[in-house]
């Protein structure tokens, strides 16, 4: 009888061991990618893709792209980048903003879809993780329906867990300076993640993350302030007249968010504002507005925008007289939905249907309306931060970001001045401090909501100097 018990126990111990191996491999799957469809030849940089399991049972499988620094990967900073949305893939940041490759925008009716090198990639000076930070976004997925539910709080908690686990399997980067980075709505999440890391460091957790600071671009920060500032910004740019602006201020009492539905005078003023700017691209006021945005009435100045879905419409045809932003997004949709691309990236079969830039169907609760207190808390630590704003963005206008920064009453170490790229004014900058905390603020002249997309050289010069601890 005892012999049978021993055999039985050994059998289940063996199966438990095999299951552990499978689970471990499942949770930390990594692949080195040598070639990509639409790119000619071998990749001249190191690209890794993979999944990291997070959650109580690792039911969330978060997908990432990792590119090593082309300079000194063993010493250069490690950035984790998240694209805004929320619920948008960080492939956008990789391919349109700061990554080593980008699409060649040509007429696809006559020319093949082509990937080319980006001469202004941030991986020339840093190692970068591009994370699809929510299950259901990009190639990240959940093995349970409950895992698809998220919020600002859950989002930041899961990214923190991802970082701990990723660095457990990439220990050679543990000593590298770590920066949390993102733009748009991810600018809301970045300081929350940074705060969680600080809390972990102070609690003495076993895996020490070498956090040095954070990077945010055109960041959503305070929902009400960001939206209210759009009216002020539109007036400053001459998009609405003094009379319309003063009327709206008076009738709405300068509150354009919590509007009384019975206040007809305020509603009339807001309607007049929308008529003036409804056909202007919110994310870059000089860019052409896509017909889909016009037809779907997506461009109201008072819409929060975090619920819009840039690639939910596929009305895009060639040839185009002038390419708009949504047209460019379709290049990534076409590329990512090619079966050869999924094979090249080692995407797990059956885990993803149609790839989209954003997936706004997954449940998300906006439970942190303002992150300004997180910035305030972080300003008590020995950290560095850079906050940059494309000055032609009306979605999160620079005046909103600058207003809450000024409200912190930091010491101004260097007042407003121009900074330069190629001997041209690239924007304007301020340098603040609060004991051991140092904050650089920079505008990108002519930049939109995703500034590196519009001004790649200027943004590369900016981040290169900042990471090197040199003045802009």
Residue matched to tokens 């021993």: 6
Measured from the Cβ of residue 51, the count of other Cβ atoms closer than 10 Å reads 25
Residue matched to tokens 């560095």: 384
Conformational region of residue 207, where left means phi above 0, alpha means psi within -120 to 50, and beta covers everything else: beta
Q: What is the three-state SS of 377-413? A: HHCCCCCEEEEEEECCCCCCCHHHHHHHHHCCCCEEE
Active site residue 379: no
Supply 105's token pair.
């925008």
Closest residue by Cα to residue 156 from 384, 365, 400, 450: 365
Q: In sequence order, which ranges of 237-338 are alpha helices (DSSP H)?
A: 242-252, 264-277, 291-295, 325-336
Catalytic, out of 393, 421, 438, 461:
393
Q: Is the dihedral of CA 449, 450, 451, 455 positive or negative?
A: negative
The C-alpha atoms of residue 13 and residue 450 are separated, in whole angstroms, by 52
Q: Determine the distance from the C-alpha atom of residue 24 to the mean position of all C-alpha atoms in its chain, rounded to a whole number.
A: 28
Active site residue 449: yes
Q: Phi first, then psi: what are they for 305, rounded to 5°? A: 75, -20
The C-alpha atoms of residue 294 and residue 93 are separated, in whole angstroms, by 25
The C-alpha atoms of residue 233 and residue 252 are separated, in whole angstroms, by 17
β-pairing, 178-183 with 78-82?
A: parallel
Catalytic, out of 140, 184, 229, 247:
184
Closest residue by Cα to residue 326 from 274, 278, 288, 276: 288
Catalytic, out of 89, 421, 449, 461:
449
Q: Phi first, then psi: what are they for 401, rounded to 5°? A: -60, -45
Active site residue 284: no
Measured from the Cβ of residue 373, the count of other Cβ atoms closer than 10 Å reads 11
**Do residues 141 and 150 lie in contact, with contact meaning Cβ atoms separated by under 8 Å?**
no
**Do residues 387 and 443 lie in contact, with contact meaning Cβ atoms separated by under 8 Å?**
no
For the chain, what is the largest distance between any 2 Cα atoms, rounded to a whole number of angstroms? 94
The C-alpha atoms of residue 187 and residue 18 are separated, in whole angstroms, by 41
**Do residues 440 and 412 lie in contact, with contact meaning Cβ atoms separated by under 8 Å?**
no
Active site residues: 184, 393, 449
């Amino acid at each position: 009888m005892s012999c049978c018990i021993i055999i039985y126990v050994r059998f289940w111990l063996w199966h438990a061991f095999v299951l552990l191996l499978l689970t471990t491999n499942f949770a930390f799957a990594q692949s080195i990618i040598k070639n990509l469809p639409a790119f000619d030849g071998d990749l001249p940089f190191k690209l890794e893709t993979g999944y990291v399991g997070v959650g109580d049972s690792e039911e969330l499988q978060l997908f990432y792209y990792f590119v090593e620094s082309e300079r000194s990967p063993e010493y250069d900073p490690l950035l984790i980048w998240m694209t805004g949305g929320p619920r948008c893939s960080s492939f956008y940041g990789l391919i349109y903003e700061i990554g080593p490759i980008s699409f060649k925008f040509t007429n696809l009716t006559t020319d093949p879809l082509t990937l080319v090198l980006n001469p202004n990639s941030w991986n020339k000076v840093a190692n970068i993780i591009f994370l699809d930070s929510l299950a259901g976004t990009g190639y990240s997925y959940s093995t349970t329906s409950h895992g698809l539910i998220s919020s600002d709080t859950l989002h930041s908690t899961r990214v923190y867990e991802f970082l701990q686990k990723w660095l457990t399997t990439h220990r050679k980067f543990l000593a590298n300076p770590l920066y949390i980075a993102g733009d748009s709505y991810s600018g809301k999440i970045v300081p929350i993640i940074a705060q969680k890391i600080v809390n972990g460091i102070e609690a003495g957790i076993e895996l020490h993350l070498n956090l040095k600071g954070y990077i945010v671009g055109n960041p959503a920060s305070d929902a009400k302030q960001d939206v209210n500032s759009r009216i002020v910004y539109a007036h400053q740019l001459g998009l609405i007249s003094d009379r319309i602006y003063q009327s709206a201020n008076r009738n709405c009492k300068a509150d354009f968010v919590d509007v009384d539905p019975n206040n007809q005078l305020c509603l009339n003023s807001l309607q007049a504002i929308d008529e003036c700017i409804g056909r202007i691209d919110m994310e870059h006021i000089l860019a052409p507005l896509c017909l889909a945005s016009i037809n779907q009435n997506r461009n109201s100045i008072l819409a929060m925008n975090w619920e819009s879905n840039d690639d939910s419409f596929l009305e895009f045809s060639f040839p185009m007289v002038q390419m708009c932003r949504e047209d460019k997004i379709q290049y990534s949709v076409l590329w990512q939905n090619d079966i050869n691309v999924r094979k090249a990236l080692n995407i797990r079969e059956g885990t993803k249907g149609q790839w989209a830039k954003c997936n706004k169907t997954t449940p998300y609760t906006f439970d942190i309306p303002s992150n300004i207190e997180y910035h305030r808390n972080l300003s008590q630590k020995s950290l560095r931060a850079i906050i940059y704003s494309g000055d032609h963005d009306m979605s999160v206008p620079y005046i909103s970001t600058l207003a809450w920064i000024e409200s912190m009453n930091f010491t101004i170490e260097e007042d407003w001045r121009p900074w330069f790229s190629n001997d041209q004014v690239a924007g304007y900058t301020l340098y603040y401090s609060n004991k051991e905390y140092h904050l650089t603020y920079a505008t990108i002249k002519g930049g939109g909501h995703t500034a590196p997309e519009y001004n790649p050289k200027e943004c590369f010069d900016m981040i290169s100097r900042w990471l090197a601890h040199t003045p802009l």
